Amino acid sequence: MENQTVKNPYYSRTDKTKLNVSNAEWKKILPTDLYYVAREADTERPFTGKYNDFDEIGEYYCAVCGNHLFRSSSKFASTCGWPSFFEADKEGVSYKRDSSHGMERIEVLCKRCDSHLGHVFNDGPEPTGMRYCMNSVSLDFQRDSEKK
Ligand SMILES: [Zn+2]
């Protein structure tokens, strides 16, 4: 939540209700860096994100809406420069074909708020063989030790 500069009325770690909020409204609510990644599919520079080199135990949530996305046990040390996971919460993410920038990729979106999170590739480690390549700015992290 350290990203949160203004109160975000849509942020909840328990409410699973699908959100339908315009980008004009998100722009007023979200920090600038998060807005451009989450709502306009920008990509943060590699090796700059706070969760790239990070191995604490806990849960990852959507920084835009609080939806649960990943468990730290599915995170692995990747050399690509972004936080990488081999498995996502099935209730947390959705997928979309992305043919932008001359590449065929699978875009990963938050299932609750449709924000851009990153892309998924099939060159990850076992057991799934998947590599969810995520933007740190799109993620919120909570340590297990901080859970009530
Ligand atoms: Zn979300």
- 14 CA distance to ligand 1 middle (Å): 12
For position 117, which CATH number holds?
Answer: 2.170.150.20
What is the tens place of the pLDDT at every residue in 58-105?
A: 999 999 999 999 999 999 999 899 999 999 999 999 999 999 999 999
Q: Cα(63)–Cα(75) distance, rounded to whole angstroms?
A: 17
> Residue 36 falls within a domain, yes or no?
yes
- 39 CA distance to ligand 1 middle (Å): 10
* Burial group, residue 38, by CB count within 10 angstroms (0-12, 13-18, 19+): buried
Q: Which residues are catalytic?
A: 133
> Residue 148 falls within a domain, yes or no?
no
This model's pTM is above 0.75: yes
- 7 CA distance to ligand 1 middle (Å): 15
State the DSSP H helix or E strand holding residue 116, giving kind and residue range, or none if neither.
strand 116-121
The total number of structural domains that make up the chain: 1
Residue 125's domain spans which residues? 2-143
